[in-house]
Amino acid sequence: MSYLVLARKWRPKRFAELVGQEHVVRALTNALETGRVHHAFLFTGTRGVGKTTIARIFAKSLNCERGTGSDPCGECETCLAIDAGRYIDLLEIDAASNTGVDNVRELIENAQYMPSRGRYKVYLIDEVHMLSKQAFNALLKTLEEPPEHVKFLFATTDPEKLLVTVLSRCLQFNLKRLDVEQIQGQIAKILIAENIEADDDAIHQMAVAADGSLRDGLSLLDQAIAYCGAGAAVGRLDSATIATMLGTVDRSRVQALLSALGDGDGARLLAEAAELAEFSPDWGSVLDAISDALHRIQVRQLVPEVEVTSDAVDVDGLAQQLRPELVQLWYQMALNGRRDLGHAPSPRSGFEMSLLRMLAFRPNQDGAQAMSTRLAASAASAAPPARRQATSNAAEQARAALAEPAKPMPTPKPAASIEPPRETVRPVIAPEVVAASAASSLLVTDTEHWLDLVARSDVRGPVRLLAEHTGFIAHADGVLQLSLTPGDEHLKSPSLVLQLGDAVAIMLGGPVQLRFETGQARGDTARVRNARERDEKQLGAEQGFAADPDIQRLVKVHGAQIVPDSIRPLGDG
C-alpha cells in the first residue's frame, strides 16, 4: 500500500503553478526567454517556501526536449525523469551529508565531462552553507569559470554562513515567507481536488500554524486528514477538531477572556482560564491569539477606516470598552508573558500570571496623580537651570487641574488598583491626566532644544539610534512631530517609538505623542551633528599633530612619514 504525501503530490511542476515568489519567477523567466542564463544561482529562504522546487523547474526549463524556455512541457522523457528524481544530468547533493573537500573535488572532476543526455549538467546543492571552508575554497575556481555546459543551483536557509567570495559569484534570490492567505488558498484548492470537506476556520488555523511554509501547511493537512478520519468523501475537517489537534484556542475563548479583563472581573477571568485548561492548549498560542485580537482592536480604535476581521472576537465592542493606552499595555504584557512562559513553574501558571498582570495594573485617579507628579519632578531634576522654573510651574498647574473632579474610569468590578513603579512597569497615564498636563508640559521649541534633549536622555541601544536619526519639525498640543529619512524608516518600530515617547515625556514633564514624517530633516539630527563634531575634532588633531615642531623636525631631518588615518584626538580611545 503506497501513499504519496500531499507536499510531494502537489509539488509545482511549472513556474505558473508556484504559490508566491513572483519576483523570483519573473527574473528566471526573463533569463530563460532571452538566453541570458547565469552559471550560478543562490536561492535563500526559510524551509518549505519553494527553493528546491524552483531549482528543479529551472533544470527542466534548461533541458526540456522541446527546447529551452520558461515553460517546460512536462511530458517529454527529460521532464518526467526530473519530476521523478532520476534524471542523470541533474545531480542533487545534500551538503549536510557531503561537507568535505573530497566530495567537492569529485564534483569538480565530474563537471568537466559533457552531459549524458541533456544540454546542461545541473548541480543542485541543498543547504550549501553546510559545506566546510576548505570545500568552498576548492569550489571557488570552478564556480567562477565553469564549463559552458554546467549550471550551479544552490539552496540554503542560512546565507549568512556563506563566504563572501561565494556570494559574489552567484545571482541571489531571496524567497519570501508565504502569507496566511496564500497558504489558505492552496490548502482550500487541494481539499476540493481531494474531495474533502473542511470548515473555513479549520483551513485558516492550519494556514496560521504553517508559519509561512507551504510545505509545513500541507504536512499539517496530511496530519489533519488522518486525525479527523477524512478522505474518500468520509469525514470533515471541522474547526474544533483542528484546534484540538494543533493545541490552539477557539476565538470565542479569547473574546471571553478579554471581556472579563475589560469588566475587571477576576473570578470570571480565572474561570475562563480553568475551562481552557480542560482542552490542554498550547498556552503560548493562546497568548498569541490574545495579542492578535488586541492588535485588531487597536487598529479599529486608532485607524477606523482600515477594515479588520472580527472572527469570534467582538472587535467593535471591545474597541469602545477599552482605553487605547490600556490595549497597548495589555499587548506588551501578552508578548512578555509569551516570552517568559519557559521560566514559569508551569505553562498554565505563567499564562494565568500574564492575565492577572493585565488585571492588576489599572492606575486609579490617585495613582495617575502620583504618576504626573513624579513625571514633573523627573523633568525638573533633569532640566537645565533656565528651564526648571517653567517645569515647576507646569507641575503646579497639573496638580491644580487634577484637583478638580474627574470623570471616573468605567471599571465595574475593579481589581486591586496599584501604582506601578516606573522602574519595572511602563507608565500608563489616564486620559484625564493627559488632558490636564499636556498643555502645561514643556514644549520642544526648536532643533537645538530637541538635540539637547537627545543628548541628555538616558536611552540606550536601538532607542538612542532612533532618537539620533530623527529631526525636529514641531511640537504643539501634546504632539511632537519628527522626521526620518526614507533610508532610516526601518528604525521606527512600534516598541522603540513607545520607549522613546516615554523617555521624552519624563524629560518634558508630561505625556507626549510622537508623530513621524518621511523626508529630509529641516535642521540637524543628532547623528549629523555628532558626525560633524567628530570630523572637526579629527581635523584639529591632524592639523595640530602636523604643526608640532618635533614632528616637523622628524619629517624634515629624518625623513619620517605620517601614516594616514593613524592620528586620533585625545580621549578618543
Is position 269 within any domain? yes
Structure confidence by residue, pLDDT tens digits, 1-12: 467 889 888 999
Total domains present in the chain:
5
| CATH code for the domain of 454 | 3.30.300.150
**CATH, residue 305:** 1.20.272.10
For residues 275 and 241, membership in a common domain is answered with no
Taking CB atoms within 8 Å and a gap of at least 24, the contacts of 249-254 are 249/276, 249/279, 249/281, 249/285, 249/286, 249/289, 250/312, 251/201, 251/289, 251/293, 251/311, 251/312, 251/313, 252/312, 253/286, 254/286, 254/289, 254/290, 254/293, 254/312, 254/313
The answer as to whether 80 is a domain residue is: yes
Q: pLDDT digit of tens for each residue in the chain (573 aa)?
A: 467 889 888 999 999 889 888 999 999 999 998 888 999 999 998 888 999 899 899 999 999 988 888 889 888 999 999 988 889 999 888 887 776 788 788 888 888 889 988 899 999 998 888 888 888 888 888 888 888 999 999 999 888 888 888 888 899 999 999 998 999 999 999 999 988 889 888 898 899 888 889 999 999 999 998 888 765 444 688 888 888 788 776 677 888 999 999 988 999 999 999 988 887 888 988 998 899 899 999 999 999 888 887 777 889 889 998 888 889 989 999 999 999 998 999 999 999 999 999 998 765 444 444 334 443 444 444 444 444 444 444 444 434 443 444 444 444 444 333 337 333 344 444 443 333 333 445 788 888 888 888 888 888 888 888 888 888 888 888 888 898 888 888 888 888 888 888 888 888 877 888 888 887 767 788 878 888 888 888 888 888 888 888 888 888 888 888 876 778 787 655
Query: What is the pTM (predicted TM-score) of this model?
Result: 0.56
**Are both 207 and 314 inside the same structural domain?**
no
The partner residues of 172 in beta bridges, in order of sequence, read 42
- For residues 159 and 264, state if they share a domain: no
Q: Where are the alpha helices (DSSP H) in 151-213?
A: 164-167, 180-193, 200-209
Residue 62 lies in a domain: yes
